[in-house]
A = this chain, B = another copy of it.
Amino acid sequence: MATAADKKARIGVLGASGYTGAELVRLLIRHPRAELVLLTADRRAGQEMRQVFPQFAPLALPRLQSIEGMDWAAAGLDLIFCALPHATTQKVIQQIVNVLPAIRIVDLSADFRLADPAAYARWYGHEHHAPELQRQAVYGLVEVYREKVRHAQLVANPGCYTTCAQLALIPLLRAKTIDPDEIVIDAKSGMTGAGRAAKEEMLFSEVSEGFHAYGVGHHRHMAELDQEFALAAGREVVVSFTPHLVPMNRGIFSTIYVRGLKRSAEDLHAVLQETYAREPFVHLLPFGQMPQSRHVRGSNMTFIGVAKDRVDGRAIIVSTLDNLTKGASGQAVQNMNVMLGFPETMGLEQVALFP
A residues apposed to B, CB below 8 Å: 19, 22, 25-26, 29-30, 53-59, 181, 184, 186, 188, 190-192, 194, 196-200, 202-214, 216-218, 222, 238-242, 244, 246-251, 253, 255, 257, 283, 285, 288, 290-299, 301, 303, 307-311, 314, 316, 318, 320, 324, 349-355
Contacts and interface: CB of A to CB of B under 8 A. Distances in A.
Given A26-B353, A58-B301, A210-B297, 6 more contacts: A181-B311, A188-B211, A191-B204, A191-B208, A205-B249, A217-B310
A272 to B, nearest CB: 15
Contact of A292 (B30, B54, B293, B311): B54
A338 to B, nearest CB: 19
A292 B216 CA distance: 13
Contacts of A283: 57-58
A246 B249 contact: no
A248 B210 contact: yes
A213 B290 contact: yes
Contact of A293 (B198, B211, B316, B320): B211
- The number of times this chain is found in the oligomer is 4
28 contacts: A22-B354, A30-B349, A53-B354, A55-B295, A55-B297, A55-B351, A58-B283, A59-B351, A186-B186, A188-B244, A191-B203, A191-B205, A196-B206, A203-B203, A208-B208, A208-B247, A208-B248, A209-B250, A209-B355, A210-B354, A211-B251, A211-B253, A211-B294, A211-B320, A212-B291, A213-B290, A213-B318, A247-B247
Contacts of A216: 288, 290, 307, 316, 318
A250 B355 contact: yes
Nearest to A188: B211
A57 B310 CA distance: 27
A214 B186 CA distance: 15
A353 to B, nearest CB: 5
Contacts of A311: 181, 238-240
Contact of A204 (B54, B203, B217): B203
A251 B353 contact: no
B202 A203 contact: yes
Contacts of A191: 203-205, 208
A196 B201 CA distance: 9
A210 B114 CA distance: 31
Contacts of A309: 217, 240
A290 B212 contact: yes
Contacts of A249: 204-205, 208-209, 355
Contacts of A186: 184, 186, 255, 257
Nearest to A252: B211
Contacts of A246: 211, 246-247
A61 to B, nearest CB: 11
A247 to B, nearest CB: 6
Contacts of A244: 188, 253, 255
